[in-house]
Amino acid sequence: MALLELRNISKIYHLGGEEIRALDDVSLDIGEGEFISIIGPSGSGKSTLMHIVGCLDTPSKGTVRLDGVEAQNASQTQLAHLRNKKIGFVFQFFNLLPKLNVVQNVELPMIYAGLSAKERRERALKALEAVEMGNRLKNRPSQLSGGQQQRVAIARALVNDPKIILADEPTGNLDTHTGEVILALFRRLSAEGRTVILVTHNPEIAAVTPRRIEIRNGKIADKVDERLAGLDRTKPGSPAPISVA
């Protein structure tokens, strides 16, 4: 049984009497320990899929099974608990709370998990060590560089030991070099056996992951667009050249 099973997922929005199918009958399995990227242009339904995978939203139709738990009919409260326990989010704009310092930000998910202050502190320190941010504990996010903020955010995503790390354009707001460092961090997490899902429209980033899923017009494309997925790697590890189809 896969860690995440999506069966015949549809998400339908109604805008001014018009029916918009953001996702149309999507089925997808993601196994434990996979390193996977979801790619697709803006408006393709990529974000909607990410919201459903990340338990931020429920589908209009179809079933979602996350780590053996049926999530398609979950209430907002149940979704919140699933997010807390099973999902670690990493966002493009880091989304750290500006008023809290680094440790407090990392402790945040554990507060809602109901852990004791002592345990929170221990686990936050361990997670920050893992992303090499153990020396900036008392800093505010505004005192850190973008890459450092993203590492704190990754520590926050790791700290509840989730089944899935879900990263939405994690390098989108970073320069190339820092982006590579962050990507390397994700690769390391994957190598440690964690399930990592990268959502991106950047082919270079998608090229890092062994498995790629492309969303086009609300469906999973049969064949991944090689240009978009960066599969056409003439030089491994380097930015993919754009080949003429």
Partner 1 sequence: MSLWSAILVGLKEIWAHKFRSLLTMLGIILGVSSLIAMSALVQGMENGAKEALIAVGGLQKLRVEPQPLPIEQRHLRDFARGVTLDDVHALQASAPEVIKVSPEMRLEPQPTLAANGKFHRTWMTAGVWPVQLEMMEHTIEHGRMFSEVDNELARNVCVIGTNIRDELFGKPEETGEPVIPIGQQLTINGYPFTIVGMFQHYESEADRKARLLREQELAAKRAAGETNFASGPKRSRGWNGGGRRGGNFAFWIKNNTVYLPLNTMWLKLKSGQTNAPAVPTLTNMELKIRDVSRLNQALTQIRNVLMVTHRGVEDFTFRTQEDWAESINVFIRNARMSGGIIAGISLLVGGIGIMNIMLASISERIREIGIRKAVGADGADVFIQILIESTVIAIVGGAAGLLTSFGLIKIIGMITPTDNAPVITVGSMALAFGASVGIGILAGLFPAFKAARMNVIQALRYD
Interface residue list for partner 1 (CB under 8 A)? 51, 56-57, 76-77, 80-81, 83-85, 89, 91, 95-97, 99, 108-109, 111-114, 117, 156, 160
The torsion angles phi and psi of 62, rounded to 5 degrees, stand at 95, 175
| Angle, CA 13 vertex, CA 9 and CA 14 arms, to 5° | 145
Please, what is the minimum distance in Å from the beta carbon of residue 11 to partner 1?
12
* Shorter beta-carbon distance to partner 1: residue 97 or 191: 97
Q: CA-CA distance, 71 to 9, in Å (whole number)?
A: 12
* Shorter beta-carbon distance to partner 1: residue 151 or 212: 151
Please, what is the minimum distance in Å from the beta carbon of residue 146 to partner 1?
17
C-alpha distances (whole Å) from 234 to each of 4, 227, 230, 241 are 33, 12, 10, 8
Please, what is the minimum distance in Å from the beta carbon of residue 145 to partner 1?
20
* Shorter beta-carbon distance to partner 1: residue 77 or 176: 77
Angle between helices 76-86 and 102-113 (to 10 degrees): 120
* Shorter beta-carbon distance to partner 1: residue 133 or 240: 133
The torsion angles phi and psi of 97, rounded to 5 degrees, stand at -80, 120
User: Strand, helix or coil at 232?
Assistant: coil
Please, what is the minimum distance in Å from the beta carbon of residue 148 to partner 1?
18
* Shorter beta-carbon distance to partner 1: residue 96 or 224: 96
From the number of C-beta atoms within 10 Å of its C-beta (0-12, 13-18, 19+), residue 184 rates as: exposed
Q: CA-CA distance, 170 to 179, in Å (whole number)?
A: 8
* Shorter beta-carbon distance to partner 1: residue 51 or 194: 51
Please, what is the minimum distance in Å from the beta carbon of residue 141 to partner 1?
11
Q: CA-CA distance, 71 to 67, in Å (whole number)?
A: 10
Please, what is the minimum distance in Å from the beta carbon of residue 39 to partner 1?
20
Q: CA-CA distance, 38 to 209, in Å (whole number)?
A: 10
